[in-house]
Amino acid sequence: MKKMKSNRTSSILLHNALIAVLAFIWLIPIIWLVCTSFSAYSGMNTSTFFPKEWSLIHYQKLFQPDTVQQFPRWFMNTFIIACFTTVISTAFVLMVAYATSVMRFPMRKPLMNMGVILNLFPGMLSMIAVYFVLKTFNLTNSYAGLIMVYSGSAGLGYLIAKGFFDTIPRALCEAARIDGCSEARIFSQIIIPMSRPIIVYTVISSFLGPWMDFVFAKMILNAGISENYTVAIGLYKMLDKSLINSYFTIFCCGGVLVSIPISVLFFIMQKFYVEGVTGGAVKG
């Protein structure tokens, strides 16, 4: 009996040790990022894993913009872009999701099928053509162009929200209709208040889009001047071959600072993310 118990304890130990090792491997780069950001040396430390001297000096430098590095500006730029994108995208997504989920009209199926076909075109590809269009209207190197690119086609990403609306009992809407409630009121006063989880998900995911995105920003803001960059482009440019030796540690500081708010939002969102991705599939 005793032997069995010790057997079981050791198996639990082994099991948790395995997880600990895996977690450690997964965290090595992150640990390196945080440690390096506290290094006193500006370039990349190539001889030891931990910095030789610790210091906060690069965090201070991060808030003293120079010609290359304007982190506070970039942060504000990205924040502004993200706010606009969030408002437009969330509105589009909820509108399309409600119309396709709750309402019944002749063009519903054809429109949804069109959406499926358009979704097959990878965003990357249409982006190049979008770039042509924006260039024609002189919208490259402008935030308006970038916001439009982020939120213009947001309506196509309605499926997760639709999946959620589909689970709201239809009887509720029917009852409201019988009581003489208009569709607009059903939408704004019954469905929306009931949909807090999916709204949180949509808001956070569209807010995170501009923070996480690299390609679109690079394409549209590439030729602009440093103070108009978003965080992604700014940090990327710091790692140019000619700059990396004097800016690598500042890059790490910026990386840490931008990751903290994003991680917090991401943790709030991930609960809904799982439901969204699997929800539609479970229902077949």
Partner 1 sequence: MASQKKGGAMSAVGGFFGAIGGFFKDFGVAFAKGDIFVKLSVLWMGAGYARRKQYIKALIMTALEAAIIAFTLTFAMQYVPKFGTLGTVVMERVFNMKTMKSEFNDYDNSFSILLFSLFSFVVWAGAFVIWMRNVVNVYRLQQKAEAGEHINTFREDMHSYIEEKFHITLLTLPVIGITVFTFIPILLLIFVAFTNYDQQHMPPSALFTWAGFSNFLSLFGGGLTTTFSYAFVRILGWTLVWAFFATFTTYIGGILLSVLLNSAKTRVPKLWRTLFIITIAVPQFVSLLLVRNFFSNGGIVNTICANIGLTGFLRDIGLVSTSYIPFLSAPGWAHVMIILINIWIGVPYQMLIATGVLMNLPSDQVESARVDGAKPFQIFKSITMPYMLFVTGPALVTDFVKNINNFNVIYLLTEGVYTTTNQAMANSQAKEVDLLVTWLFRLTQDYYNYKMASAIGIIVFIICAVFTLFAFNRMIGNGREEDYQ
Please identify, using beta-carbon distances, which residue of 34 and 57 lies nearer to partner 1: 34
* 283 lies in the site for partner 1, by CB under 8 A: yes
CA distances from 243 to 15, 49, 236 (A): 45, 21, 11
Among 5, 26, 53, 67, binds partner 1 (CB under 8 A): 26
Residue count, binding to partner 1 (CB under 8 A): 103
Span interacting with partner 1, options 53-61, 64-72, 176-184, 196-204, rule CB under 8 A:
176-184
Site for partner 1 in 142-161 (CB under 8 A): 148-149, 151-156
Token pair listed for 274: 């799982």
* 81 lies in the site for partner 1, by CB under 8 A: no
* 74 lies in the site for partner 1, by CB under 8 A: no
Among 38, 39, 45, 160, binds partner 1 (CB under 8 A): 45
Please identify, using beta-carbon distances, which residue of 1 and 128 lies nearer to partner 1: 128
* 236 lies in the site for partner 1, by CB under 8 A: yes
Site string for partner 1, 238-277 (x = CB under 8 A): -xxx--x---x--xx--x--xx--xx--xx--x--xxx-x
Residue 246 near residue 57 (C-beta atoms within 8 A):
no
* 178 lies in the site for partner 1, by CB under 8 A: no
Site string for partner 1, 97-136 (x = CB under 8 A): -xx---x-xxxxxxx-xxx-xx-xxxxxxxxxxxxxx--x
Among 211, 221, 229, 247, binds partner 1 (CB under 8 A): 211
- Half-sphere exposure of 84 toward its Cβ, with a 13 Å CA cutoff? 15
* 5 lies in the site for partner 1, by CB under 8 A: no
- How many CB atoms are closer than 10 A to CB 50? 12
Span interacting with partner 1, options 7-15, 53-61, 65-73, 198-206, rule CB under 8 A:
7-15
Q: How far apart are alpha carbons 44 and 51 in whole angstroms?
A: 10
* 29 lies in the site for partner 1, by CB under 8 A: yes
Residue 97 near residue 111 (C-beta atoms within 8 A):
no
Token pair listed for 94: 């909820």
Span interacting with partner 1, options 18-26, 51-59, 64-72, 196-204, rule CB under 8 A:
18-26
Closest CA to 79 of 209, 198, 199, 197: 209
Sign of CA pseudo-dihedral 85, 191, 163, 278: positive
Distance in Å, CB of 266 to partner 1, minimum: 4
